[in-house]
Amino acid sequence: MRTVPDAQNAVLAAAKDMLRKGLVEGTAGNISARMDDGNVCITPSSVDYEAMTLDDLMIIDPGGEVLEGHRSPSSEKLLHLACYKAFDDVGSVIHSHPVYATMFAIAHQAIPPCIDEFSIYVGGEVRVTDYAESGSGGVGENAVAALEGRGAALLANHGMVAVGPNPAKALHITALVERSAQIVWGAMALGQIHELPAEVNKKFKSIYEFLRENPM
C-alpha cells in the first residue's frame, strides 16, 4: 500500500499549485493523499484554494467516515476512496476541471497518445468513463475501470481524475494531460492527427508501468 509522508502539507501544496496552474477555478476539484495509517487526507468541500490552510483539510477513513477536521470532506470523496481501494500503488488522487481535457470529456472522446511524454507518464490514451452523477459511488466505479493501466481518466460530462504516488506527481500528470488535450484539439483543427506508432506506444507504456512501480 503506497502512502505519502507528510500528507497534509503535500495535499495543501498541490491544491494551491493546481489553482496557480489554472487547472481549477475557485473551489472546484479536490485532492487527497493516503496517509501512513491507511486513512486519507482530503481537501474540504467549498473552501477556496487560495485561502485554504492545513486546518481546513479533512482526515477520513477508508470507509469515508470523518476522523479529523471541522469541515465537510470533498463531495467527491467516494471517487478518491474507490481509487485507493482498487490500486495499492496509488498514493494520491486529484480530480480537476481543466478546460481542454473537460472538452474531450463532454464530447466523450478519449485523448489519443500523440506525444512521447504523454504515453511515458500516462500510459496511453486517456479513456472516458461512462457517465455517473457527481458525488455518487458510480463516479468512482467508472473511474476505476477507465484508470486500469493509466495515470488519468476523463470523467464523462465532468472533468478529469489523475492518480500517482504523491500529490506532486498526480498534479504533473493532470497538467500534462491538459496540455496534451490542448495540443490535440489544435491539431484536430488543422487537419488529421497522427498517433504514435503502435510499437512506440507499447514501448512507452512499459516505461510508464516501470515508473508507476518505482516512483522517483
- Which of 116, 127, 134, 130 is closest to 202 using CA atoms? 116
Q: For position 193, what pLDDT does the model report?
A: 93
Fill in the DSSP letter of residue 123: -
CATH of region 7-213, choose from 3.30.70.1450, 3.40.50.300, 3.40.225.10, 3.20.20.70? 3.40.225.10
pLDDT at 25: 85
The backbone region for 80, taken as left when phi is positive above 0, alpha when psi lies in -120 to 50, beta otherwise, is: alpha
Per-residue pLDDT of the chain (216 residues; tens, 9 = 90+): 999 999 999 999 999 999 999 999 888 899 999 999 999 999 999 999 999 999 999 999 999 999 999 999 999 999 999 999 999 999 999 999 999 999 999 999 999 999 988 989 999 999 999 999 999 999 999 999 999 999 999 999 999 999 999 999 999 999 999 999 999 999 999 999 999 999 998 999 999 999 999 998
Provide the pLDDT for residue 26: 80
- Catalytic residue list contains 76: yes
Contact 11, 41 (CB under 8 A): yes
Q: Which amino acid is at 26?
A: G
Cell numbers that stand for 45 in this block: 468541500
d(CA 213, CA 216): 10
Look at residue 27 in the predicted model and tell me its pLDDT: 81
Q: Where are the domains of the chain?
A: 7-213
Torsion angle in degrees (nearest 10) through CA of 60, 65, 69, 70: 150
Give the total residue count for the chain: 216
Task: Give pLDDT, residue 16.
Answer: 96
Give the pLDDT of residue 113: 94
Q: Which of 25, 50, 76, 141 is catalytic?
A: 76
Per-residue cell: 17: 499549485
Is this prediction's pTM over 0.85?
Answer: yes
